[in-house]
Each structure stands twice: as C-alpha cells, then as structure tokens.
C-alpha cells in the first residue's frame, strides 16, 4: 500500500486528491479481485510477469490496461509470478502533459521543470 487504503490498511503517502496506489505481487496461479471506488480512473500496470484481467485480457511484461470509470470489481489471475501496480484516482479535469519523468499541465510548465532540473534546482544526491 503506497497511497489510499485497502482492507483496513492505509498507505503512508499524502496526496492532494483522492488517490489509490497499490503495489501488488502475485504468485503464479494466484487470483485477486479488487473493487476500486466508482468514478475513479483506474489503470492496471503489469511491471513483470503475466496476468489475465477479468478472465479475458492477457497482460505480459511491461503492459497496462485502463478500466472503465463506471467502477465495479475486476479480477487479476497471475499466469506467472507478477509485479503489478494499481493506480486509481478521482478525476481532476485538468490537462495533463508528460515528458520523460515530468508531468505538468502545460508544455510551458514542462519546459520550466526541465530547465529547473538541469540547473540543479531539484536538489542533489
């Protein structure tokens, strides 16, 4: 559990809008049914392994599936050991622009983020 809550467990991440981020590990043959909140945008991201979504859509390796915001439970069945991220959140009705690791609302904000990063304003390790 990274953000949000599941089965009484609350994730440590603080968010500005309602978000669920679940980091799952399924052993080969394991099955799991999840029921995200209705109205949330939900994406299933398979990072490793093979997973069958709702008994019909096979996701392998680096693959993703966008679910309907109408809600409803969905099932994952692992065809092999699998690492999966579930990303769900309340729509915020804002434009989204992405480039590399940067996600902003406009191209101008993306350019500024890249400039800030390249000038060291994001800090140093």
Locate the DSSP E strands across the chain. 5-6, 9-10, 19-26, 31-34, 41-48, 50-53, 57-60, 63-67, 74-78, 82-89, 97-99, 102-104
Share of the chain residues as helix, strand and coil, in percent rounded to the nearest 5: 10, 45, 45
Res 71: pLDDT: 77
Res 125: pLDDT: 63
Mean pLDDT per block of 10 residues along the chain (125 residues) reads: 87 90 96 90 94 95 87 93 94 87 93 94 76
């Amino acid at each position: 559990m990274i953000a949000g809550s599941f089965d009484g467990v609350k994730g440590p991440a603080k968010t500005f809008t309602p978000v669920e981020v679940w980091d799952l590990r399924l052993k080969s043959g394991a099955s799991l049914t999840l029921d995200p909140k209705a109205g949330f945008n939900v994406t299933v991201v398979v990072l490793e392994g093979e997973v069958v979504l709702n008994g019909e859509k096979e996701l392998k390796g680096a693959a993703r599936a966008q679910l309907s915001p109408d809600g409803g439970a969905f099932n994952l069945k692992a065809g092999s050991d699998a690492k999966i991220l579930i990303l769900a959140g309340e729509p915020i009705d804002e434009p989204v622009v992405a480039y590399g690791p940067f996600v902003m609302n406009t191209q101008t904000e993306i350019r500024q983020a890249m400039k800030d990063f390249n000038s060291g304003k994001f800090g140093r390790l």
